[in-house]
Structure 1
């Protein structure tokens, strides 16, 4: 069930948003140092209309600068862009799966930006792409809109969960895969 107050699209490789209701106007210029991992009393859902969506590894790989496996280690900052809350997370790379431009190595700490965040004690997040959690292990397909900043390609379709020795897609309509991290690395390499 979706009750949402915003629509968001990825445009020209950068995150931008379309406001769906006047209720969002109160977010203008707000930011909070609270961690999205904290459980706020209220959550406001946002609706996304993804400009990019991928249902196979070959397309994800072709539209990404980087694919990495690792862990979210901390929240770096929260802010707003045109009244839309965003959160910058630190992601520590355990393994590089795809990197034709030689951007990173294992052990690198990347800044990954995601739409959503806690503003005045209220959590704002996209229903089908909830905020990352600290200690969450994931595989991410990333773009780099500016040096030092990354975002996940295709929202939830570029995000994979790693749990109990198994990689699985975060988005139910994303690329189909179920297997070990080693099998996933091989599938990415061969796609």
Structure 2
């Protein structure tokens, strides 16, 4: 696989990891920067034949959508690289990564990847939908929460029956390539010295019960030390937890490691704005998937974490989908423990 992290030049350049995650009330939302041409070429660098097929199908769907762009593939160096990753230590199924020049708002380097740890089990339409979604990011689209291709989660797109560009997606790309003027409402301009990451989750959860069912473990814990690494060019941070209480699952030594996508690259902090990196001393309730002994990731991204204030006795959901859950710490704990007890019967 081609390495994702590349050294940035002397020019002011911002770096983006895009995997879906934000929502907006607008019909479409633009990330801000765009490609230097409306006729980009794509180099498909994938070890998976299923991924290659998904990428070519996604390209065809965008061309058929009459979005004011003409996409093609090349065997040489393209405007963008499309490939695949294979990582079961994360909860996302696709990622788009690009850097752009702050002065011109033009993308200077862009790659997108399907995570075959998830997409290998998808049917062709679902896999193609993820590919077309990521191509939307390559073109400059951000996420929106309605039933469109740029919805940030694969389950929501699947439930909507969406795997191709919809009218809102098409209008967004047309708007982006028809003008160089980016209104403040439509775009999030690149900012010097700051990197943005969006994570698109392969799974999503709408209730405390579904979260609990999807979790291997649930903990009330305080975040301790961290270590950073880069795997296949993607930054990761591992947080050591001091577990105050296991609400589901557990280990005898009371410790656990949470693995998050994000970290520091070339001096810039890269993190998902909906699932920012945990901070030392922070306390929360975390719904976790165990991918290796003692190693976990938070399921559903923002869905799987509650910010806890011990003294105030509150546990606040970070996901809008779970805002209906009581923010009482005692209530969230008792509900979770009741679900665990019922599961054991």
TM-score tier by shorter-chain length is: 0.7 to 0.9
Across the aligned residues of Structure 1 and Structure 2, the Cα RMSD in angstroms comes to 2.6
Q: Unpaired runs of 5+ in structure 2?
A: 1-13, 21-85, 100-108, 111-191, 340-345
| Matched residue, 1:93 | 243
Residues 128-172 of structure 1, C-alpha deviations (whole Å, 9 max, x = no match) = 111111110100001111112111011110000101211110112
Aligned position for 1:190: 338
Decide which structure has greater helix share.
2
Q: Give the C-alpha shift of residue 51 in structure 1.
A: 1.1
Bigger strand share: 1
Moved over 6 A (4+): none
TM-score (norm 1): 0.78
Indicate yes or no: 2:282 matched with 1:104: no
Q: Secondary structure at the match of 1:50?
A: coil
Normalised by the size of structure 2, how large is the TM-score? 0.45
1:135 aligns with 2:281: yes
Residue of structure 1 in register with 2:300 after alignment: 154
Pairing of 1:1-191 with structure 2 (within 5 A): 5-8=16-19, 13-15=88-90, 18-23=94-99, 42-75=193-226, 77-99=227-249, 103-105=250-252, 108-163=254-309, 164-174=312-322, 176-191=324-339
Q: Tell me, which stretches of 5 or more residues in structure 1 are unaligned?
A: 26-40
Conservation of the 8 A alpha-carbon contact between 1:13 and 1:143? no
User: For the pair shown, which has the larger CA radius of gyration, 1 or 2?
Assistant: 2
Give the deviation of 1:114 after TM superposition. Answer: 0.5
Distance 1:131 1:21 in 2: 18
How many aligned positions are there? Answer: 169
Question: Which structure ranks higher in relative contact order (CA pairs < 8 Å, sequence separation ≥ 6)?
Answer: 1
